Structure 1
């Protein structure tokens, strides 16, 4: 049996809400189910047929345990015969789930896959172990540096000489672009309304003066540069895509997966993971960044995003390449950890497929991962 290329033919996401706010009553399973149901309906409409569904794969970081993908699948009304699998690659989980689904198709499956991620920080449980509660599991064992992502971003800013002004300007860019995209209706077709909520609650007009008021939160105020204003907000949300083999796509337009790379790096600088993933992916595919039309990076922190973008030649003292997060990113929209990588692919689908970009246009999605890893995936428009 020859291998098939996997193509994303539908992509939807819920609104993204700050922890404890508009989506705080929804469990991670409920958020995921809403996204899955809408994505599956879109896929069947695009195909004009009911292609069998072979698996549901979701990323999740901090949920209640168990198998979120299976619970959400059943909650979405998907038949009991369809299995589900949940994976954890931290902030790269949603993108990793899509890659795994594509690999299943490449291995010979002729059925559809639903893949993505979900996170409900509002309902995430407190973890208890002998000796008391703890915030998270270790990203690395004893003997390795294991920083939380905020302090890691602060260290990276110092290591790469990324100023507070540069970080604030990047955050302002993300917010202004997201506000413009929202006001122009560019998010409407990708969003799944929930309980009357149909917009993200994060994007807002942010001036340099407003951002300057935020105090550093991970270092001494006199020397720190990473603030709540230039960091993404902990958030609730879900995103999913439908992938089908090229042999079953028919005339449905979509994003064909060209290649992907997941790599490890020094756990002390986890934010640099996308640099090595992008380099590996470009070498694997023979593509240059100059050939890529749309780029989505999970903007966990302005310092982290700028460090990556500068390293790969997409940012400099003169500014950030216009192809990067053109409609804003996680700094404005929010960062639902397990979902954010999948949100990046939903955004590529809107920017390239929904926007009518020609066949052959390329899109890149990438994310940094706690513990020192990076994931990147390259997609091509097919029509």
Structure 2
């Protein structure tokens, strides 16, 4: 025991996930996050005055402070500070980790943290021209590396990984079909739903579907060759959504009479080869396991974000049975 305060999650809510241009097409990121913040406070029995800070991750807006807008829109006191962080795809989890660290350091007793993205309403970004006669150049994402030859588009990196590992389009498509099947089974179970905050009439994830293998194989290839290339069916959808958790010190929670929440044992940030971002997940998992001194068999589940089918497939293969992977 180090004597540092224990951070616990006392409430967690999210919106459904809607594809870009879908049910949330008219909502900004802060408009998605505000009702989730309200729901988290209600679930935990907290008032806005109990909150020390709000931290939200956002990768698409490229400026401003959506977390502050969401905090005000949710009716929290104007004196509650809010911060938006951008570590691209890791932003939401990094926001939660920052909340945990604040609590553990004794710098805060209650922090709301999570992520909010509106692909539908995100800014159209352009590079300002150097000379007056030049035209601004639009771009979808900032650079991930200072070296152009090591800064591939994420889809290109995924296709390159598939080629290196010999993961065929058929195998990727089969993985995507099974992923949708599992998600649909959960949607149709009695366990799905309580965490969803209905927004714009949507209370169910909209992208999950009954995907057939032949349909997945007909999907257009985004990048790569015909044998191992990445298609739209094997890629996570561009979407709008928000999710927020309430992170509190265990002492503060007990003082408010809250039931025990989920204790956060630890968390890590990891970095690796910018040319192959899909493999960095493995570094984080291994480092976390080492820090906790708990072998993988001690975990009931390991949850992976399937940005691309090939990303999940490579991670499962590399981690192997010892990490509970491959099931």
Q: Cα deviations across residues 218-240 of structure 1 (Å, max 9, x unaligned)?
A: 123x3343111111110000001
Following the alignment from structure 2 to structure 1, what is the Cα–Cα distance between the partners of residues 251 and 326?
Answer: 36
Q: Hey, which bits of structure 1, 4+ residues long, moved more than 6 A?
A: none
Q: 1:50 to 1:137 in 2, by over 3 A?
A: closer
* Cα distance in 2, alignment partners of residues 50 and 67 from structure 1: 19
Structure with greater strand percent: 1
In structure 1, the partner of 2:65 is 67
Taking the aligned partners of 1:71 and 1:139, their CA distance within structure 2 comes to 27
Tell me if the contact between 2:169 and 2:227 (Cα under 8 Å) persists in the aligned partners.
no
Alignment of 1:304 with 2:311, yes or no, is yes
How far, CA to CA, are the matches of 2:278 and 2:76 in structure 1? 37
Q: After TM superposition, give the deviation of residue 132 of structure 1 in Å.
A: 2.0
Q: Which residue number corresponds to residue 238 of structure 1? A: 242
Distance 2:321 2:218 in 1: 28
Q: What are the residue-to-residue correspondences of 1:244-263 with 2, within 5 Å? A: 244-250=248-254, 252-263=259-270
Radius of gyration: which is bigger?
A: 2
**Mapping of residues 41-120 of structure 1, within 5 Å:** 41-44=42-45, 52-63=50-61, 65-109=63-107, 111-120=109-118
Contact 1:51 1:111 in 2 (8 A): no
Query: What is the 5 A alignment of 1:257-336?
Result: 257-313=264-320, 321-322=326-327
Partner of 1:148 in structure 2?
153
Corresponding residue of 2:137:
132
Give the alignment of 1:159-198 within 5 angstroms.
159-198=164-203
Change (3 A) 1:196 1:272: same
| Pairwise CA RMSD | 2.1
Q: Secondary structure at the match of 1:294?
A: coil
User: Is 1:201 the counterpart of 2:206 in the alignment?
Assistant: yes
Deviations 1:279-303 (A, max 9, x none): 1111111011111112211110000
SS of the equivalent of 1:11 reads strand
| Alignment deviations for residues 300-338 of structure 1 (CA, whole Å, 9 cap, x no partner) | 00001111121111599xx9644xxxxxxxxxxxxxxxx
When normalised by structure 2's length, the TM-score is 0.91
Contact 1:57 1:69 in 2 (8 A): yes
Aligned residues: 316
Contact 2:15 2:199 survives alignment (8 Å): yes
- Asked if the contact 1:315–1:321 (Cα under 8 Å) also holds between the matched residues in 2, the reply is no
Contact 1:120 1:237 in 2 (8 A): yes
Shift in Å at residue 92 of structure 1? Answer: 0.8
2-structure distance, mates of 1:264, 1:110: 27
- Give distance in 1, aligned partners of 2:217 and 2:265: 41
Whether 2:127 is the aligned partner of 1:123: answer no
Distance 1:184 1:143, change over 3 A: closer
Give CA deviations for 1:119-139 in whole Å, capped at 9, x if unaligned: 000011111221422222111
C-alpha distance in structure 2 between counterparts of 1:27 and 1:143, whole Å: 32
Distance (whole Å) between structure 2 residues aligned to residue 180 and residue 30 of structure 1: 30
- TM-score when normalising by structure 1: 0.78
Q: Which runs of 5+ in 1 are unaligned?
A: 323-383
Offset, 1:180: 1.1
